[in-house]
A and B are shown apart, each in its own frame.
Chain A
Amino acid sequence: MNELGGSGNANGAQLRLRNLTKVFGATKAVDEISLDVPTGTFLSLLGPSGSGKTTTLNLIAGFLTPDSGDILMDERSIADVPPHKRNIGMVFQSYSLFPHMTVSENVGFPLRMRTSLSREASRHRIAEMLALVQLSHLASRYPRQLSGGQQQRVAMARALVSHPRLLLMDEPLGALDKKLREQMQVEIKRIHRSVGTTVIYVTHDQSEALTMSDVVVVMHQARIAQIGTPRALYEAPANLFVADFLGDSNLLPARVIAVSGDRVQVELANGEIIRAARGTFAGAAGDRIIVLVRPEDMSVRVSREQGNGLNLLTGTVKEISYHGDTFKLDVAVGEQSLKAKVARGEGAGIELGRAVFLTWKFEVAKILRPQDESNDSLAVAGGEQ
């Protein structure tokens, strides 16, 4: 029933979600989600807990049935196909290795269930998989005898052994410590490149999503807040929620004074006038907007710096924290508190309580609508009010 047995890499499935909806009681866990995942893509579902990302994954896996909408795998609806016939691999948050089976029995499980491979061929495939995750020497151990990172690799091998065209990963690195997590991120990317499977990766860790994915889907309150490449999401967030959720941000409430060419002149709450990039802003003078400036785009100087195209605010340093390669500063500007992140050298001369000049190029300042049309509640998500 499926195209297994080929020795080469199975290429990825194309996945489409069509107005997918799942309701639990009175709450919509997933609300009219539509998504196209091209073949071979590494796609992350990113969002806070309760945003619907895990429910979406469980719908794709078939553990839940959608209340409405459809799931298409390679243009064929799988909404009514039971999980065991979907030919999907999955890595669970807790790994969920079978405790009563050895590593190679765990890895061989999908082969036993899905294929009629000869014992010899199975053994070969298991060995191949264990080599891919670099665990060949632990084949006869039981899961409880392995470290978290090793269990994680076994779970990867089990998920991939039958060459599924789609791999689902549910916060697979959540239980590992930071160093191991970063190591495994690289490992998972390497494995993804070598097998070419389409991957749907659920995480609430934004840096994980940004480093690993081709495409990130930011979810918020059962809906998709934005879809895009990691860069596009970070540099051009479509709404306040995405801007605030991804990375650190300064969100300054402001009023538009004038729109000219690629620049917008705005007035901040304390009366200061600054300029921002127009981007896709189509509003007019008088509109209330939010200006987004990333902390790392700010320069902090102890002496006044003049320059064309620079915005400048003066403030007082309220907080300094040292992060090895950078300093993070909290600078009070009027009523507002702005975050800045500066390189080690630049931050060395700055002291607590000192008056400083914050500058940034106008084009790094982005304009966001205070209220996203599609979701009213996003407005309050901004950090600084």
Chain B
Amino acid sequence: MTAVAEPAARAAPRLSALSAVRLLPALLLLPCLLWISFFFLLPLALMCWRSLASDGFAFETYSVVFTSPLYTKVMWTTVKTASIATLGALILAYPIAYVLTVGGAKLRALILIFVLIPYWVDIIVRSFSWLILLGDNGLINKILMASGLIGSPLHLLYNPVSVLLAMVQILLPLTTVTLFGAMLRIDRTLIAAAKIHGASGWQAFRTVFFPLSLPGVYGAGLLVFVLALGFYVTPALLGSPRETMVAQTIMVEASQLLDWPQASAAGAVLLVITTSLAWIYNRYFSLDRLWGGSNT
């Protein structure tokens, strides 16, 4: 009898210790989980519900998103603008991130300051600053007029270029920092190995550093693209109606037309697009290596 009871008694504390170990992460996550549930997941669910339950229960709102000329055009503009802005940010950020990676400590600190200060300035402020630069009475036009190169001001604002200029500028810090993080994780002795085995600096970059930095480029690209898809203030301030992006349309539907089901449906579609992009990336490159997770 006792012989049977003893192992059971001994097993009991070990079991509770084990479950405590299992419980601890759950306990630590709980506050955040509650917060997210109430203020993110619940509204999200309500939004999805609303998108379906306009008149009875229908997918009509979704068919509008996919078929109406307005939405098709806005969606296309959104994807096009976000793609170009992402590409531009990547091209500009890559050399900066590279210098950050290979440069000395002092240079790195200096560049990081210049990268991060704009990052800390609000998006609205940064968008407005482009009005000051590009406006008919803006800095650029004033300089050009004063120098006599042009007689009347150029209309630099409210076109795709002004929107893209500002978007790239706004996305640049995040792109740079993300790329820098990814590049830091490239083993630099690989470059030394390439050099000692006959590669010039450029060849070592082209054959070793650049290919190894590509997953980081894709990751930063995805992150920035998802962010760019949701831009609202910048196209609203610097673009014409032709540059309208989907976030603006959703805003108009919700606050001016009060068509909440339609706005919800468009929001849900946007959400599905971004989540699937993240999913595809994670499938092939694994997201956590952007934040310093496992290698290869």
User: Residues on A close to B: CB < 8 A?
Assistant: 61-63, 82-84, 86-90, 92, 94, 96-100, 109-110, 112-114, 144, 158-159, 162, 168
Contacts and interface: CB of A to CB of B under 8 A. Distances in A.
Contacts of B211: 100
Contact of B197 (A63, A82, A100, A159): A159
A277 B195 CA distance: 51
Contact of A84 (B190, B196, B208): B196
Nearest to B214: A100
Contacts of A86: 196
Contacts of B16: none
A112 B208 CA distance: 13
Contacts of A87: 198
B199 interface: yes
A64 to B, nearest CB: 11
Cβ-closest 10 pairs across A and B? A113-B198, A114-B198, A110-B197, A96-B193, A83-B195, A90-B196, A96-B189, A113-B199, A84-B195, A83-B196
Nearest to B188: A96
A61 B196 contact: yes
Interface of B: 187, 189-190, 192-200, 203-204, 207-208, 211-212, 296
Contacts of A62: 196
A189 to B, nearest CB: 22
Contacts of B212: 99-100
B296 A113 contact: no
A98 B193 contact: yes
Nearest to A113: B198
26 contacts: A61-B196, A62-B196, A63-B196, A82-B195, A82-B200, A83-B192, A84-B195, A84-B199, A86-B196, A92-B189, A92-B193, A94-B189, A96-B190, A98-B190, A98-B194, A98-B208, A99-B296, A109-B194, A109-B197, A110-B198, A112-B207, A113-B198, A113-B203, A159-B197, A162-B197, A168-B196
A62 B296 CA distance: 30
Contacts of A99: 190, 212, 296
Contacts of A158: 197
Contacts of B187: 94, 96
A71 to B, nearest CB: 14
B24 to A, nearest CB: 33
B188 to A, nearest CB: 10
Given A84-B203, A92-B189, 7 more contacts: A84-B197, A96-B187, A97-B193, A109-B198, A113-B194, A113-B199, A114-B197
Contacts of A114: 197-198
A108 to B, nearest CB: 10
Contacts of B194: 98, 109, 113
A197 to B, nearest CB: 14
A92 B211 CA distance: 21
Taking each of B192, B203, B211, which has the highest tally of chain A beta carbons within 10 Å of its own beta carbon? B192
Contacts of A168: 196
Contacts of B189: 92, 94, 96
Contacts of B296: 99, 144
The interface centre, meaning the residue of B198, B204, B296 with most chain A CB atoms within 10 A of its CB, is B198
